[in-house]
Structure 1
Amino acid sequence: MQVILLLIGLLLILIGVFLIWDQLQARLSYEKVLGTITGYRKRMDYKSGDNLRMMFYPIIEYVVQGQKKKLNSTLGSSFPSYDIGESVYIYYSSKNDEAKLKSIAPFYGGMLFLLAGGYLGYIFFATFSFSFFSVLFVLIILTVIFWILFKQLKKFEIKSGSELIERIRNKLAGMSKLREADESELITTQEELLSTDLFVNKNIQYAGPIILLIGFGLIFLAGYFWIEKIEFMEVALSAEGEVVDYEVRGSGEDETFYPIIVFTTKNSKEYEFTHEAGSGTDPYYTVNSTVQVLYDPETPYDAIIDQGAWNWLWPVLISFIALAFFGSGVKMVFQWMKIKRFKEKLKEIN
């Protein structure tokens, strides 16, 4: 189980690094070219009951060295991010005859993958029993996995992070790569793009403000966690503690183990607290093991196990989630405003 956590964590980290490096490399070494959005390719990403999730992939035309070229971007979004006819920048490599849409999405997605992979890695190292044979076993498994992964990437000629994500998404959805010959999946006019008959635009008038409000709420929650953590870290003192027991919450497969720590403050008083984070599998810490503790000298019961950079995990995670909701809400609200203005113009023309 622990090895599986490590493997999944490493895979997520690799995807995150791949996404970030892929876009960073393009920005540093490719030529920046101005292109024009000429349409979108749409497809159903998955179906659950009557709920459909459509993804929209922009088509960009651009000119390099006097030749007109077309880019079918593999960077999709849940609703169109650009207007048809809008100018956008792409990065083009004449050496590889390869183009990529300029976007911050790979950076943001890469960071989410890195955070998720790092968290799984933290769980592995917190629960793993280190010995010569256990470490050797993990190294052998990792070597085999990476060798297989390298061979597969080479076999399928996957050269970019966005292409890797696209292949995985297509595989999970049971679909092949986007079909360029299927004209029924194309959106080529602004009228069709902003039509309320388009599935993604039907409920955007209500969904946008709701998601925006959720984003606002999460931003305030993230702010609360940041302020609380900063104030605590500014006054916290360090002490050596001992794991004396566990508080078990839940039952059966839902059991979670929360370590109970005893420590002594600077004025030689002993206190006990239950750590805020628990483990859903084997306990993170063994009974009688020694851990570093951070505590508030004014309220010593307000204490945590010192986990270094991981002390900031919750504020960081909530901040990322808050920004995701807030950004999506803003985009949806602006999309609805754009649809509304477009409908008003059509009325004036008619």
Structure 2
Amino acid sequence: MTPVQAKEFYRSMLLARLFEERAAREYQDGHIGGFLHLYPGEEAVAVGAIQASDQGDYVVSTYREHVHALVKGISPRRIMAELFGKSEGVSGGLGGSMHIFDRSLRFFGGWAIVGETFPVAIGVGYAIRLRNDADVCLCFFGDGAVNQGTFHESLNMAGLWKLPVLFVCENNRYQIGTEIHRHSAVTDMARRASVYGIGTWKADGMDVESVFGVVRMAIEKIRRGEGPQFVECETYRFRGHSMADPSSYRPQAESAGFLLQDPLKMGIFQGCPGKDCLEIFSERCRSGNSLSEEELLSVRQEIEATIDDAVLYARDAREPGIEDLEKAWGIPLWERTSGD
């Protein structure tokens, strides 16, 4: 890992973490309405996977998609403005937290229904194959979505047609408030995908380098025409399902010792007790001389300024008017959105 790559990993994960924590505060202060599903703890998955892909590859995400959108290149300003429901938001302020979409960056949502991502990714993959392109579609989803019928139908079609789709399972052990062993007869997510003739992989979802390396190998197989691949990333989310979820259902033994108001001190896996993906990676950078303490601090200051700017931008942005509502029904969202 080069110092340049180390800095980009750290910068992207820290931007994701601080953006989500700031969004939580803005939600509590009444500036963000509706549901808000946050991602702290899982940053290594989105950062490692998307950075292992090419800029021209597609990403299809879930209702918990802020971080995927950030890593894909959508500006913090446009995402924060969307959360605030402002016209300058990436979806015109009409999509909100769960419907971020930017065709110009090949970011195809933001889908509110569990399991809704699968058929969309299959459609993208089929379009890539028809055009004979070398692109890949990354499809993100949680362990709970694996129980949906769309998962099995879509993976069967992907395996049958050898579509260029990479399925990335963010296995955070909970389907909303239900532990994985209570909602899945088979808790090995990769094993469930293998029956459709799809290559399966596993990565440490708390380690950005692990995710990056595994996803890169999986994508190389897809580009060689070896069919779709499935990567299971074992991770852990430090917040509940949404801002309305106090997460009180988690066993006390599991959460004991973790400071819920200071996510940089958290972790869950026995191999790294009391740590999370950011702390693991920053310590690795220090010990390996990839980044100095001064460089890490400089990155943090830069990110904090970027997020402050995004919030000010969102607060000052224009509220949608009646004319925006009329446009929403006449012009499909994917035809209206564009890059910065």
TM range (shorter): under 0.3
From the two aligned structures, give the one with the greater strand fraction: 1
Larger radius of gyration: 1
Tell me: higher relative CO, structure 1 or 2? Use CA pairs within 8 A at least 6 residues apart: 2
TM-score where L is the length of structure 1:
0.25
